[in-house]
């Protein structure tokens, strides 16, 4: 855990250094100590661009894996995650309605984007909840999630076809995922939406442990199933919806990171696993951000491509190496 | 007696169960579980055994009547306090989490720990004791998916033990177990009963249940009968229970017999020892009764290789070195 924390700090500092304008570590630390080491231009770049970008990476890195972990435990399926189950697609659909349909701008757009993504994510979650009551087979739920996301993708592409060129362009850029396009007001919404929800999920770690044997056992051990489901679904919708709204759909972090932290920390106790997953997620996300900036060049890759390339091998490893895919 | 049913850990009055109002499985159920009693619930598949067990402890909604747990209406319990009174072991778990046995048993302490789930010394001690009780102390660090069916079931029971409840309810705990494991498991439960717990479990294994249970609940033709195993045997319930299935309960031997055409009767001579008991068993299997007027006479004698069976039938007098050979002769001779 300490090692991961240290790794996170190192990666965060590397991340802050990256970019076309050179800002050295010494200068940043000096500034932190109150000395005037940085020029105004450097300060603007640091506070307006690089720090918000880092903060976004940290929030997304903590939030998405928590969604994945909660889904994996609730559905008792190692392949569950916000992206795979179509929750990110629901959020995308909400966002697409705002970006492609309404074309709203400004602070109203920021809020409506978040709200639409929450509603989109929440709707898919409700559908999954409804289906999971009737169908116990986790594979079926997974396939339905994939169908939901494909269906929504189809609807979104129809909307794209009929939308205006400028709206289309901003939507396509959004859908590639970006940590850097988050405005100050968006960042504050993200922070206020995500931080308290992360605290709630930490407080529910014990309950998640109880769910590991299934809902019947959980109920027999005094866990209020209905309330727990609602909490898990609401927190997942808010977390995945918020990140998707402002950063675009970021794939495979949600599904892969919980497994990475299970592997690294060798524990299945959620009281450890939950913070461990947040920490691992932040490390992976900041690392992905560094990779996406292609150090040494002035080009930036879409973050979604990087996270997918990191996450997919983990999922493949999970499916192939871990033959007992039902074991969480 | 202070409040009605207070000496009972479970008391069901005019209780009815089912999935919906129009799908009532059993109604007008009046049953009790005494403190420190072991109750075996018997019934054929689909008669509502699981539903009864789960409805009785609040894991499923029930349709009517009243259920008192420890003298208090079940609806009056909040979930954590109910979980400190009743523990449950389900017939199967479809997906095993990658927990170790020790971690899984520790889940039994959930109703007692605070919101962060911190376990103190006494919690850990009880988890250790639970593992000892089921003889799995050395398995604490092993993953659940590395266990055999019998070990896994014992681990699940250890979790219920760690929950430290006066009542333990188990849905077909022996469903996937072989005979020795079944026997061990029920003996384990009867030890818990001797320690003061009340145990209710459902099973298809009538024979083991008859040897261990204080009381049986038998579901038959939409009704449920309650009594000591012997009371129910005496009432002829077991005959009825198996009438349609080609199995009969032999009141004399206390055995279940596959009903086939009777082959006649055998006069059996020999010492009252194991060999005789197994010979009786073989004769029952072949459809013969054992009595003093049998037309076939079989005598068991010790021999250099163990035993030999001398069969006198229709004037023939033949000797066999194994029960198998004797059985082949009896079958072919007819």
Q: What is the DSSP string of B279-294?
A: HHHHHHHHTEEE-TT-
- Residue A298, burial from CB neighbour count under 10 angstroms (0-12, 13-18, 19+): exposed
DSSP string, A216-261: HHHHHTT--HHHHHHHHHHHHHHHHHHHHHHH----SHHHHHHHHH
B237-258 average pLDDT score: 67
pLDDT (mean) for B236-258: 68
Region of residue B236 (phi > 0: left; psi between -120 and 50: alpha; otherwise: beta) = left
Domain span at residue A228 reads 52-320
- The token pair that represents A223 in the structure block: 């866990």
- The 10s digit of each residue's pLDDT in A169-178 is 878 877 887 8
The verdict on residue A20 lying in a domain is no
The 10 Å Cβ neighbour count of residue B114 is 9
Pairwise CA distance, residues B117 & A210, whole Å: 10
Quickly state the pLDDT bin for B251 (edges 50, 70, 90). Answer: low
Task: Return the residue of A nearest to B103 by Cα.
Answer: A269
**Contact present, B256 and B239 (Cβ < 8 Å):** no
| A contact test, residue of B97, B111, B116, B127 with most A CBs within 10 A | B97
Residues pairing with B215 in the sheet: B39
State the average pLDDT over residues B60-68: 92
Any domain includes A126? yes
Model confidence at B3: pLDDT above 50:
no
Q: How many domains does chain A have?
A: 1
- Nearest CA distance, B112 vs chain A (angstrom): 9
Residue B16: beta bridge partners? B64
Q: Decide if A43 is inside a domain.
A: no
- Structure confidence at residue B77 (pLDDT): 94
What's the CA gap between A152 and A93, in Å, rounded? Answer: 6
Report the range of poorest mean pLDDT among A191-205, B225-239, B261-275.
B261-275
A161 in a domain, yes or no?
yes
Per-residue confidence (pLDDT) for residue A86, from 0 to 100 = 85
- Mean pLDDT for A12-31 is 78
CATH number for the domain that contains residue A164: 1.10.3470.10
Q: Taking CB atoms and an 8 Å limit, are A268 and B90 in contact across chains?
A: no
Is residue B2 pLDDT above 50, yes or no? no
> Does residue A187 surpass a pLDDT of 70?
yes
3-class SS shares of chain A: helix, strand, coil, % to 5? 75, 0, 25
Is B95 in contact with A220 (Cβ distance < 8 A)?
no
Inter-chain CB proximity B95 and A138 less than 8 Å: yes
Q: Answer whether B160's CB lies under 8 Å from B88's CB.
A: yes
What is the pLDDT at residue B10?
A: 94
The side-by-side arrangement of strands in the sheet containing B24-34 is B24-34, B8-18, B64-69, B72-73
The pLDDT of residue A241 is above 70: yes
CA distance B232 to A306: 70
Residue A281 sits at the vertex; the CA angle it makes with A276 and A286, to the nearest 5 degrees, is 135
| Rounded-to-integer distance, Cα B256 and Cα B180, Å | 19
Give pLDDT tens digits for A32-78: 777 777 778 888 888 888 899 999 999 999 999 999 999 999 888 88
pLDDT over 80 (residue A22) = no
The string of pLDDT tens digits covering residues A111-170 is: 787 888 888 988 988 888 788 777 766 677 778 888 888 999 899 889 888 888 888 887
Taking the C-alpha atoms of residue A236 and residue B245, their distance in angstroms, rounded to an integer, is: 52
Q: What is the pLDDT of residue A215?
A: 85
Half-sphere exposure of A127 toward its Cβ, with a 13 Å CA cutoff?
A: 19
Would you say A97 and A113 are in contact if contact means Cβ atoms under 8 Å apart?
no
What is the end-to-end Cα distance of chain A in Å, rounded? Answer: 21
- Per-residue confidence (pLDDT) for residue A108, from 0 to 100: 60
Q: What per-residue confidence (pLDDT) applies to B166?
A: 95
Best of B58, B99, B145 to substitute, by most chain A Cβ atoms within 10 angstroms, is: B99
- Which CATH code is given to the segment(s) B8-250? 3.40.50.300
Report which of residues B183 and A85 the model is more confident about. B183
How far is Cα of residue A187 from the mean position of the Cα atoms in its chain? 14
Per the model's pLDDT, the better-predicted residue between A13 and A57 turns out to be A57
% of chain B at pLDDT higher than 70: 91
Output the six-digit token pair for A327: 């074991």
Of B99, B103, B111, the CB nearest to A221: B111
Check CB contact under 8 Å for B110 and A203.
no
Å from A325 to nearest chain B CA? 10
CATH number of B264-332: 3.30.160.150
A213 and chain B in contact, CB less than 8 A: yes
Provide φ and ψ at B173, rounded to 5°: -65, -20
Measured in angstroms, the CA of A43 and the nearest CA of chain B are apart by 42
What is the interface size between A and B, counted as CB pairs within 8 Å? 84
- Taking residues A193-208, report their average pLDDT: 94
**Where does the pLDDT of residue A105 fall: very low under 50, low under 70, confident under 90, or very high at 90 and above?**
low
- Work out the mean pLDDT of chain B and round it to a whole number: 87
Q: Bin B169: left if φ > 0, else alpha if -120 < ψ < 50, else beta.
A: beta
Other C-beta atoms lying within 10 Å of the C-beta of residue A299: 8
pTM for this prediction:
0.81
Q: How far apart are CA B229 and CA B222, in angstroms?
A: 19
Q: How far is residue B330's CA from residue B332's CA, in Å, rounded to a whole number?
A: 6
Over residues B289-299, mean pLDDT: 85
- In angstroms, the separation between the Cα of residue B51 and the nearest Cα of chain A is 13
């Amino acid at each position: 855990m300490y090692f991961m924390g240290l790794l996170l700090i190192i990666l965060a500092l590397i991340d802050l250094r990256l970019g076309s304008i050179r800002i050295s570590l010494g200068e940043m630390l000096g500034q932190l100590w109150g000395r005037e080491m940085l020029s105004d231009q450097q300060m603007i770049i640091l506070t307006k661009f690089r720090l918000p970008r880092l903060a976004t990476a940290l929030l997304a890195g903590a939030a998405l894996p928590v969604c994945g972990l909660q889904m994996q435990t609730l559905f008792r399926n190692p392949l569950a995650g916000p992206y795979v189950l179509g929750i990110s697609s629901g959020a995308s659909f909400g966002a697409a309605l705002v970006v492609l349909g309404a074309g709203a701008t400004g602070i109203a757009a920021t809020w409506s984007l978040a709200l639409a993504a929450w509603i989109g994510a929440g709707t898919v979650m409700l559908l999954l909840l409804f289906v999971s009551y009737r169908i116990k087979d986790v594979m079926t739920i997974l396939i339905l999630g994939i169908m939901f996301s494909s269906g929504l993708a189809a609807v979104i592409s129809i909307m794209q076809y009929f939308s205006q060129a400028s709206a289309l362009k901003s939507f396509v850029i959004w859908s590639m995922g970006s940590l850097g396009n988050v405005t100050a007001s968006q960042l504050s919404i993200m922070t206020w939406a995500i931080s308290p929800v992360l605290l709630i999920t930490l407080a529910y770690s014990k309950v998640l442990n109880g769910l590991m044997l299934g809902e019947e056992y959980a109920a027999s051990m005094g866990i209020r199933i209905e309330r727990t489901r609602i909490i898990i679904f609401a927190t997942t919708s808010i977390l995945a919806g918020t990140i998707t709204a402002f950063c675009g759909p970021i794939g495979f972090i949600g599904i892969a990171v919980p497994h990475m932290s299970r592997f690294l920390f060798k524990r299945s106790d959620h009281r450890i696993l939950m913070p461990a997953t947040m920490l691992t997620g932040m490390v992976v996300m900041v690392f992905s951000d560094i990779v996406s900036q292609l150090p040494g060049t002035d080009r930036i890759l879409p973050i979604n491509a990087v996270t997918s390339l990191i996450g997919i091998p983990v999922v493949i490893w999970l499916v192939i190496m871990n033959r007992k895919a039902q074991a969480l | 007696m202070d409040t009605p049913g207070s000496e009972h850990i479970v008391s069901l009055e005019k209780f009815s169960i089912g999935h919906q109002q129009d799908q009532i499985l059993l109604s007008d159920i009046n049953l009790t579980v005494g403190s420190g009693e072991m109750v075996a619930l018997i019934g054929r598949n689909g008669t509502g055994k699981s539903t009864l067990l789960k409805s009785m402890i609040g894991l499923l909604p029930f349709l009517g009547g009243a259920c008192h747990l420890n003298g208090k209406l079940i609806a009056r319990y909040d979930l954590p306090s109910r979980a400190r009174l009743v523990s449950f072991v389900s017939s199967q778990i479809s997906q095993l989490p990658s927990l170790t046995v020790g971690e899984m048993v520790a889940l039994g302490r959930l109703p007692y720990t605070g919101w962060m789930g911190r376990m103190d010394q006494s919690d850990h001690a009880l988890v250790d004791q639970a593992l000892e009780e089921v003889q799995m102390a050395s398995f604490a660090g092993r993953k659940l998916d590395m266990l055999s069916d019998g070990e896994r079931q014992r681990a699940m029971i250890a979790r219920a033990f760690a929950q430290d409840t006066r009542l333990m309810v188990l849905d077909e705990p022996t469903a996937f177990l072989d005979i020795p494991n079944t026997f061990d498991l029920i003996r384990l439960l009867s030890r818990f009963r001797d320690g003061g717990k009340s145990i209710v479990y459902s099973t298809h294994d009538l024979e083991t249940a008859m040897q261990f249970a204080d009381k049986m609940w038998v579901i038959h033709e939409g009704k449920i009968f309650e009594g000591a195993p012997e009371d129910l045997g005496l009432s002829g319930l077991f005959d009825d229970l198996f009438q349609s299935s080609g199995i009969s309960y032999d009141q004399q031997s206390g055995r279940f017999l596959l009903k086939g055409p009777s082959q006649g009767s055998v006069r059996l001579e020999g010492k009252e020892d194991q060999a005789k008991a197994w010979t009786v068993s073989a004769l029952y299997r072949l459809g013969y009764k054992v009595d003093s007027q049998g037309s076939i006479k079989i005598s068991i004698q010790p021999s250099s290789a163990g035993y030999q069976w001398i069969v006198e039938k229709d004037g023939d007098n033949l000797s066999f070195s194994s029960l198998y050979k004797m059985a082949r002769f009896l079958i072919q001779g007819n």
